[in-house]
């Protein structure tokens, strides 16, 4: 049961309590505002506004602009038949205008716009075949209604079935229920930034005075963004505080097992890898629980770092586990880790959905008895009733799909389990804070020696045939190629059609050497096709869905991405990282359509100029804003309604620093400001953090 403060109740009522939101429109509203409560409607920000204060004479009324005009109605020309417009002629003495209605009722027109009357109309002025007209005015009234009509009207993002008028009506209703809450912001910081009180900020947000009111830099937008970011940082910090207090263990290891692995490596570790290992060692020797994120680009050598970390706990008689997001990747870890574990004489098992019956029972028994020192598997390792004898370290791979909550449930598998998370998607520093503020971060920002650069080329789609000829020559020399088909607006059906069409074209030329992999195949079928590609039975792999992150086929050295302009920068970078893993020179062809927009051009240019994932991620954030980066939508990344990470990065840093100060002085949030901050956490539904607070 939530202990939400009583004063927040009006904001957490169902949206059906708002004017104009009935059982029919409620689901549409929920989809639009991302929730079914009054507060969700209030957090739906305007994206534009209409200024109806512009009131010119007709002779001065410009084409295409919204204006409020005062005219006398001269004549009604009713539509002779259905489908034709009704025209109302009107004048203001300086010029004439036709008011156009389609399928309008005769009685309604006579009542609204009586001949000879002076009326006030607001809508878009259009010049059509030498005549001025206004089609379906937005507002109609008498001269005395001028104050009500000449307003600034916010414009909202909409969804099919909901009008701006309906959103406006619901928001006006919601604003009527706003409580006055105790201030949670630091008084001096609030004054310095000239921020209004929370309820005032909410009112101004939905009633912008002019264009500046829509800017992320406006004091109101900043204040509300800061509230949201502070709630985010505070809740992560509380979770972390709680985690750290759960007894960790100080591991005492001497590095003998680690040395056995290092002796088998055909290369030296990079400085970045050594730094990350030093960070991990320091964490693990301290009595607090480790919560560390290792960020490293594709191919930067994160797995060997994880393997060395595992040796620390195994030397002390505990177990280690690594989990991957998919079965393919779990099997791949089995191959790469297996080599190192064998060298160190460590026993390991792999557990995925494939293991059934008796075989599965035996594996579970080995995990429970501790006979299995390392357990490799999918995320299911932690969702099922799997018992470890003593899990000392859990390594989570490709973390995006894995939010704070899962990290918590994971480390509860055992007393004081240390957690190491690896992600191959470089994340901009600011975004790292919002998603992993509960973790320490190490970055592996160097490539191991010997990795060749990938030759990235931009190619207009008209030249695809010549590229296919070049690929054919490469395949004769033993090359293998990925061919990624374009993403079609969230439609699996269209994705599949595009891929099948490309597959058919390539089959005509290369026959059975072409394979097709897509989202609708069962896991076993995908594995089968990926296996054939890895063995070389298939030379060209056509794929719709982004090929599994982390899939390793060193012989694949050509990547073709069709309609590359439709992909985000980080996605393009991830895809390109599938090649360049073997000895042969690698190529990446970004095939684009002729009419590229500015952002798309910029994206492709960056791809050609750099292979540094961290630079690419920062650029991606600049170009796209925080919401879309990394396909954030389906990841463990938080999405913000009021804050825009690209614009409010500075506020995020301030929120992090503010959080540190708050918790240093008032860890349980019991001071006056602390109590107000709890209200802030409830306002942004961070109840989980408050539960941790109570649990200590």
pLDDT one-digit tens code per residue, 492-520: 556 567 788 889 999 999 999 999 988 77
List CB contacts of 623: < 8 A, sequence separation 6 or more.
569, 599, 602, 603
pLDDT band at 383 (very low <50, low <70, confident <90, very high): low
**Confidence band for 409, pLDDT divided at 50, 70 and 90:** low
Q: Check: CB of residue 10 under 8 Å from CB of residue 693.
A: no
Element (H, E) at 90: strand 85-91
Domains 53-150 and 454-610 share a fold: no
Under the banding of pLDDT at 50, 70 and 90, the label for residue 11 is: very high
pLDDT, averaged across the chain: 85
Domain ranges of the chain: 6-50+155-214, 53-150, 267-444, 454-610
Average pLDDT over residues 535-551: 77
The fraction of the chain above a pLDDT of 70, given in percent, is 91
Lowest mean pLDDT among 64-68, 319-323, 336-340, 447-451: 447-451
Q: Which residues contact 636 (CB under 8 A, 6 or more apart)?
A: 399, 400, 401, 402, 403, 404, 406, 435
Q: Point out which residues pair with 590 in neighbouring strands.
A: 458, 561
User: Is 53-150 a CATH 2.40.50.140 domain?
Assistant: yes
Closest CA to 124 of 69, 59, 60, 57: 69
- What's the average model confidence in pLDDT over 267-285? 93
Arithmetic mean of pLDDT, 620-635: 53
- pLDDT for position 487: 57
Q: What is the pLDDT of residue 488?
A: 55
Instruction: Give pLDDT tens digits for 420-458.
Output: 988 877 777 777 777 776 678 888 887 777 677 889 999
Length of the chain in terms of residues written? 696
DSSP run (H or E) holding 153? strand 152-156
CATH superfamily, domain 454-610, is: P-loop containing nucleotide triphosphate hydrolases (3.40.50.300)
Selected residue with higher pLDDT from 605 and 384: 605
The predicted pLDDT at position 615 comes to 82
Q: What is the DSSP string of 339-359?
A: HHHHHHT--EEEE-TT--HHH
CB atoms within 10 A of CB 82: 7
Query: Is the pLDDT reported for residue 630 higher than 50?
Result: no
393 or 521, which is more confident = 393
Whole-number Cα distances in Å, 562 to 222, 455, 457: 40, 17, 12
Task: Give bridge partners of residue 70 from the DSSP assignment.
Answer: 120
pLDDT for 649 equals: 83
* Residues near 250 by beta carbon (within 8 Å), at least 6 away in sequence: 284, 285, 286, 287
With vertex at residue 192, the alpha carbon angle to CA 188 and CA 198, rounded to the nearest 5 degrees, is: 75
Domain spanning 267-444, CATH architecture: 3-Layer(aba) Sandwich (3.40)
- CA 632, chain centre distance (Å): 2
């Amino acid at each position: 049961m939530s202990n939400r403060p009583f004063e927040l109740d009006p904001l957490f009522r169902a949206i059906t309590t708002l004017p104009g939101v009935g059982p029919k429109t409620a689901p549409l509203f929920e989809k639009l505002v991302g929730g079914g409560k009054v507060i969700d409607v209030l957090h739906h920000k305007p994206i534009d506004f209409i200024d109806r204060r512009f009131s010119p004479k007709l002779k001065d009324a410009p084409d295409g602009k919204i204006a409020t005009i005062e005219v006398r109605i001269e004549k009604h020309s009713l539509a002779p038949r259905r489908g034709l417009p009704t025209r109302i002629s009107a004048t203001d003495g300086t010029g004439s205008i036709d008011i156009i209605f389609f399928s309008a009722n005769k009685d309604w027109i006579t009542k609204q716009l009586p001949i000879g009357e002076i009326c006030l109309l607001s809508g878009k002025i259009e010049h059509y075949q030498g005549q001025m007209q206004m089609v379906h005015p937005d507002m109609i009234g008498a001269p005395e209604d001028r104050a009500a009509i000449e307003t600034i009207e916010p414009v909202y993002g909409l969804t099919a079935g909901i009008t701006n008028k309906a959103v406006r009506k619901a928001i006006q209703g919601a604003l009527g229920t706003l409580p006055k809450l105790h201030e949670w912001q630091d008084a001096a910081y609030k004054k310095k930034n000239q921020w209004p009180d929370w309820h005032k900020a909410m009112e101004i947000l939905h009633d912008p005075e002019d264009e500046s009111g829509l800017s992320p830099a406006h004091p109101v937008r900043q204040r509300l963004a800061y509230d949201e970011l502070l709630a985010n940082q505070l809740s992560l910090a509380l979770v972390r505080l709680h985690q750290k207090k759960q007894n960790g263990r100080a591991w005492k290891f001497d590095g003998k097992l680690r040395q056995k692995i290092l002796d088998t490596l055909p290369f030296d570790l990079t400085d970045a890898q050594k730094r990350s290992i030093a960070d991990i060692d320091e964490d693990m020797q301290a009595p607090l629980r480790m919560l560390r994120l290792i960020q490293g680009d594709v191919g930067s050598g994160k797995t060997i770092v994880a393997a060395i970390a595992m040796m620390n706990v195994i030397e002390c008689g505990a177990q280690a586990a690594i989990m991957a997001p998919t079965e393919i990747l779990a099997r791949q870890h089995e191959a790469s880790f297996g080599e190192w574990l064998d060298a160190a004489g460590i026993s390991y098992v792999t557990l995925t959905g494939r293991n059934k019956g008796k075989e599965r029972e035996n594996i579970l028994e080995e995990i429970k008895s501790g006979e299995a020192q390392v357990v490799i598997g999918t995320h299911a390792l932690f969702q099922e009733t799997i018992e470890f004898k003593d899990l000392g370290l859990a390594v989570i791979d490709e973390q995006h799909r894995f939010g704070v909550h899962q990290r918590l449930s994971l480390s509860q598998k055992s007393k004081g389990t240390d957690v190491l998370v690896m992600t191959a998607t470089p994340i901009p520093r600011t975004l790292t804070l919002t998603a992993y503020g509960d973790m320490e971060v190490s970055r592996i920002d160097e490539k191991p020696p010997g990795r060749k650069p990938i030759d990235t080329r931009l190619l207009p789609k008209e030249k695809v045939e010549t590229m296919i000829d070049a690929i054919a020559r490469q395949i004769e020399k033993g090359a293998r190629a990925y061919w990624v088909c374009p993403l079609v607006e969230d439609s699996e059906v269209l994705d599949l059609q595009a891929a099948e069409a490309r597959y058919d074209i390539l089959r005509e030329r290369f026959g059975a050497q072409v394979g097709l992999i897509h989202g609708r195949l069962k896991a076993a079928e995908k594995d089968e096709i990926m296996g054939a590609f890895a063995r070389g039975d298939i030379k060209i792999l056509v794929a719709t869905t982004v090929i599994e992150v982390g899939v390793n086929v060193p012989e694949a050295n050509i990547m073709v991405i069709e309609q590359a302009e439709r992909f985000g920068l980080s996605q393009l970078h991830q895809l390109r990282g599938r090649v360049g893993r073997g000895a042969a020179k690698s190529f990446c062809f970004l095939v684009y359509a002729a009419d590229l927009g500015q952002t798309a051009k910029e994206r492709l240019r960056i791809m050609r100029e750099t292979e540094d994932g961290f630079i690419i991620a920062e650029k991606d954030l600049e170009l796209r804003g925080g919401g879309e980066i990394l396909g954030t939508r389906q990841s463990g990344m938080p999405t913000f309604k009021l804050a825009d990470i690209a614009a409010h990065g500075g506020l995020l840093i301030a929120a992090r620093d503010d959080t540190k100060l708050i918790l240093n002085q008032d860890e349980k949030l019991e001071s006056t400001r602390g109590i107000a901050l709890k209200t802030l956490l409830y306002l942004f539904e961070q109840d989980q953090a408050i539960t941790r607070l109570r649990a200590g």
